[in-house]
Amino acid sequence: MEKRELGQFLRSRREVLTCADVGLPVTGRRRTPGLRREELAMLAGISTTWLTYLEQGRDVRASDQVLASLTRALRLSPAERAHVYALAGFPGPAAPAEPLAPHVGDVAGALGLHPAYVTAADYTLLTYNAAAEELFTGLPRIGNLARWLFTDPAARDLLPDWTEIAQDVLARLRAAQGRHPGEERFTRLVADLHEASPEVRDWWPRQDVRATRSGTKRVRHPRRGVLTLSYVSFQVADHPDQTLVVYLDPGAEQDESARSASGRSLDGLS
């Protein structure tokens, strides 16, 4: 029963994904909704035959690595991923080590037009404001900054200096893992990143460790083009493994005023 349910669930998630969602070109006439099995198998790095067996509910057992690849390729939410692991007989991904510290989410929300988010030590996204949701396309859906950087094509499009930023995040992830030896959430994350990204496989053996807390980043804003934004990171005093990251956008208020003025002009014509 569980294998049939797992197969049905995997197929349903495949059928709601489009080529645009995963950065694939649309080729030929498509007679079925969503991705083809061949396309999902390619994204997950598994054989089409193996994926077919899983979707048909056959008596096969998927490994933890196969499930990690599939759930990542399907862009599943944390709840959906946990469901897949449960149906497959695995305990599933570990939950964040601690809940969001009280009132920290209110601070992120109060920053208004300046993008802000809070992450746990393993880069799990704990909360974010509307400006961050608009700017960091795909990050809230994936729910982990490191996974988003290395698995979502949108991250490379958003960040003109992707290589430098990704190397920095990977080095800080190694430092965080060193502060939490043996914790499954780090072990699983690092293993998944190795499987998903050739860059991680190349860079991780370098043993780079960093603790960058501020600087500037170039980002490609969905409406305003490439911007250079200053950013600052703050550790939460009572929960030092939680980090509030704020991007200072001096042009946000001017942009919002222009949009509001445009809206008023259009209203006046109606």
What does pLDDT average to over the chain? Answer: 82
> pLDDT higher for 55 or 158?
158
Nearest one of 67, 100, 102, 98 to 82, comparing CA atoms:
67
Q: Are 140 and 81 in contact (CB under 8 A)?
A: no
Residue 264 has a pLDDT of 41
Looking at the chain, the domain(s) classified CATH 1.10.260.40 span: 2-87
CATH 3.30.450.180 residue ranges of the chain are 104-256
Q: Is the dihedral of CA 167, 170, 174, 175 positive or negative?
A: positive
Is residue 220 predicted with pLDDT exceeding 80?
Answer: yes
Q: Which of 146, 22, 143, 125 is nearest to 78 (CA)?
A: 143
* Residue 256 confidence class, pLDDT cut points 50, 70, 90: low
d(Cα 78, Cα 179) in Å, to the nearest integer?
24
State how far the Cα of 18 lies from the Cα of 34, in Å rounded to an integer. Answer: 5
The strand pairing partners of 116, in sequence order, are 246
Rg of the chain (C-alpha set): 20
Q: What's the fold here for domain 104-256?
A: Beta-Lactamase (3.30.450)
What single-letter DSSP state applies at residue 156? H
**pTM greater than 0.95 (yes/no):** no
Name the percent of the chain lying above pLDDT 70: 85
- Compute the average pLDDT of residues 208-221: 84
Classify domain 2-87 by CATH number.
1.10.260.40
pLDDT, tens digit, 9 for 90 and up, residues 184-195: 889 999 999 999
Asked whether the predicted pLDDT for residue 270 surpasses 70, the reply is: no
**Residue pLDDT, tens place only, 29-41:** 667 778 888 888 8
Per DSSP, the residues of 216-251 read EEEEEETTTEEEEEEEEEEEETTEEEEEEEEEE-TT
